[in-house]
Amino acid sequence: MTRALYYEDGTRLTFESVVQEVSGSEIALEATAFYPEGGGQNGDAGRLSWAEETATVLDTRKDKATGLIWHRLEGTLPPVGTQVSGEVDAARRWRQMQRHSGEHLLAQAFKRVSPAFSVAAVGMRNPECTLDLEGDPAEIHVQAAETLLRETLGRTDLTLETPTVSEDDLHLYAPRRETKVRGQVRLVIFRDEAGDAFDVSACGGLHVPRASLAAPVVILRTERIRAGLTRVVFMAGEEAGEYLTRVYRDARALAQGFSVPVDRLPERVAALNTERDALKAEAAALREALAATLVGAAPVEIVNGLPVRCVTLDDLALLLPTLNAVPVGEVLLALAPGGRCGMATPREEVNAGVVLGTVLRATGGKGGGKPAIAQGTTPQPDGFFAAVKDALSVLIFQPVPESQPEAHLEYAHAFDSSAAPASGPDKTEIVKAEIVSMLKPTPSNEA
């Protein structure tokens, strides 16, 4: 078993020890200040030195069966019996402790806002830590918990105690949540000068000696995981301070660009959003007006009894407004940059989605849509208008009995008028007349 120096003093970063075992790239020491991974907290890193050698400690883990703490090294491994000097990475250790203490303190703050906000899970592997809470705290509760903790850390000197007590005596300490640990239980307590505990939790992790060293604790956002469970994402200590500094620096630069102080930046952004929305509406109206003008200026060609207009556009943003501007009783074809294309018609007997989809598939493109309007992409933009007009020219319009289901363009057969009832509604439909065979892609001249 390895003696855990980190429990004797959580701020201890240097020590002397002897190599007890070697296995692969890992060594176990008789005693160590390196905290092993566990309890939601990452293991320590740092370095070991002996004689003229130095090796980097990449990570640390504990074998629960033997009690040995293994140090994964990069570099030469010292043999068993070697006297080594250890140095824990101070930045990594302190930030881990700040995250862990911040999690305990924030969980307690939420519990004081409402006992319904109990902890379901935690995550402290990254600067953005997580606290999964039952009870679905709303924004008002989040703000209340953050304010409570900020005032507590700023006005109260909470010091750390880590007693180990019997499970039979846990009720005397009233821990924040029930523990599954049996026998001797290590507690983490943050207590004020009057002796009152702010938070009591069963925990095997390392913590800052004073709660104020975990400040600030900043809630970044909340995420709904499922009904009854909300994830609170937060940062604590130095990492939170660095984050706030970076955000303020960016906000200050942005505010200077707008010639306003930082505290008026939201107001300026809101004004810009309003201005943007007004400009977007104005641009949309102008596009609609331009589309109507382009459609009105396009000549009308009669194809198989259908008035057809063809419009070529130089802006893709005009495609949908142009299709929406189709005149009553006509068929409108539009071609935009990049082979984007569309077809629109208010005529009930012409299904734009079926016609366009059939034409595009026959020429190697893709697309389709509703009977009144359809869009797609063609690999042969130069022949798009001709291909659709060819498709329209071979279609025939015949009356269809009301009880007969509408036929799709790809599968419908020529309507046999002799089989139709003597009388019926005037409803009509497009039927296929060997369109696909007529619309094969243009042969290439390449060998």
Q: Is the pLDDT of residue 413 over 70?
A: no
- 51 and 143 housed in the same domain: no
- 102 and 243 housed in the same domain: yes
Distances (CA, A) of 82 to 21, 50, 89, 205, 428: 10, 7, 22, 29, 95
- Residue 432's pLDDT is 43
- 425 and 328 housed in the same domain: yes
Query: In 124-238, which ranges are E strands?
Result: 129-134, 159-161, 164-166, 184-191, 197-202, 217-226, 229-236
Report the alpha-carbon distance of residue 402 to residue 303 in Å, rounded. 27
- 64 and 102 housed in the same domain: no
Share of the chain above pLDDT 90, in %: 83
- 230 and 347 housed in the same domain: no
Q: Considering only CA atoms, which of 65, 161, 54 is closest in space to residue 104?
A: 161
443 HSE (CA, 13 A, CB side): 3
Q: Is 417 within a domain?
A: yes
For residue range 305-317, list pLDDT tens digits in order.
999 999 999 999 9
- Residue 179's pLDDT is 84
Tokens at 181, concatenated: 């640990």
Report the alpha-carbon distance of residue 356 to residue 410 in Å, rounded. 11
- Residue 182's pLDDT is 85
CATH of the domain at 10: 2.40.30.130
- 171 and 111 housed in the same domain: yes
Q: Is 401 within a domain?
A: yes
- 65 and 100 housed in the same domain: no
- 82 and 101 housed in the same domain: no
Q: Is 30 within a domain?
A: yes
Contact (Cβ atoms closer than 8 angstroms) between residue 148 and residue 112 = yes
Q: Is 289 within a domain?
A: no
Please tell me which residue, 405 or 244, carries the higher pLDDT value: 244
Burial (CB count within 10 angstroms: exposed 0-12, middle 13-18, buried 19+), residue 416? exposed
For residue range 21-62, list pLDDT tens digits in order.
999 999 999 999 999 988 778 999 999 999 989 999 999 999
Burial (CB count within 10 angstroms: exposed 0-12, middle 13-18, buried 19+), residue 76? exposed
Beta bridge partners of 71: 27, 60
Report the alpha-carbon distance of residue 168 to residue 49 in Å, rounded. 44
For residue range 93-138, list pLDDT tens digits in order.
999 999 999 999 999 999 999 999 999 999 999 999 999 999 999 9
For residue range 149-179, list pLDDT tens digits in order.
999 999 999 999 999 999 989 989 999 988 8
Q: Is the pLDDT of residue 427 over 90?
A: no
CB atoms within 10 A of CB 392: 22
CATH of the domain at 332: 3.10.310.40
- Residue 40's pLDDT is 77
pLDDT band at residue 397 using 50, 70 and 90 as cut-offs = low
Q: Is 162 within a domain?
A: yes
For residue range 318-342, list pLDDT tens digits in order.
999 999 999 999 999 999 999 999 9
Q: Is the pLDDT of residue 200 over 50?
A: yes
- Residue 207's pLDDT is 96
- 70 and 185 housed in the same domain: no
Helix (H) or strand (E) holding 23: strand 14-23
pLDDT band at residue 398 using 50, 70 and 90 as cut-offs = low
For residue range 217-267, list pLDDT tens digits in order.
999 999 999 999 999 999 999 999 999 999 999 999 999 999 999 999 999
Mean predicted confidence (pLDDT) in 339-365: 94
Residues near 397 by beta carbon (within 8 Å), at least 6 away in sequence = 305, 349, 428, 429, 430
Report the alpha-carbon distance of residue 105 to residue 124 in Å, rounded. 14
Report the alpha-carbon distance of residue 199 to residue 177 in Å, rounded. 10
* Residue 28: domain span: 3-88
Q: Give the end of a domain, one of 250, 275, 291.
A: 250
- 72 and 115 housed in the same domain: no
Residues near 359 by beta carbon (within 8 Å), at least 6 away in sequence = 365, 387, 388, 391, 435, 439
434 HSE (CA, 13 A, CB side): 2
- Residue 337's pLDDT is 97
Report the alpha-carbon distance of residue 231 to residue 233 in Å, rounded. 6
- 69 and 98 housed in the same domain: no
CATH of the domain at 234: 3.30.980.10
- 77 and 121 housed in the same domain: no
Q: Is 267 within a domain?
A: no
Sign of CA dihedral 66, 69, 74, 76: negative
Mean pLDDT of the chain: 88
What's the domain count of the chain? 3
Q: Is 291 within a domain?
A: no
Helix 265-297 vs helix 237-257: crossing angle, to nearest 10? 60
Q: Give the end of a domain, one of 88, 121, 151.
A: 88
pLDDT band at residue 409 using 50, 70 and 90 as cut-offs = very low
Q: Is the pLDDT of residue 71 over 60?
A: yes
Q: Is 270 within a domain?
A: no
Q: Give the end of a domain, one of 209, 233, 250.
A: 250
Mean predicted confidence (pLDDT) in 198-216: 96
- Residue 157's pLDDT is 96
